[in-house]
Amino acid sequence: MLSGINQGRVIGQTQFKTRIRRLDKETLIINKQQFNLELQNSFSLLDLSTEDVQQQFSNIENCIQIASSKLKRTSSKLKKLSPETVKLIEERFILAKDITDPQYKHKNREVKRNIRKDIRIYNENTVQIALERNRSLKIAKQGISKGKSWITSIKDNTGKKHQSRDKCNSLSKFKRYRKY
Any idea where the domains of the chain sit in the sequence?
2-70, 83-172
CA pair distance 127, 9, nearest whole angstrom: 47
pTM, whole model, 2 decimals?
0.40
- pLDDT per residue over 94-128, tens digit each? 998 888 888 999 999 999 999 999 998 988 887 78
CA dist list (Å): 134 to 16, 148, 164, 174, 177: 40, 7, 13, 18, 18
- Band (78; pLDDT cuts 50, 70, 90): low
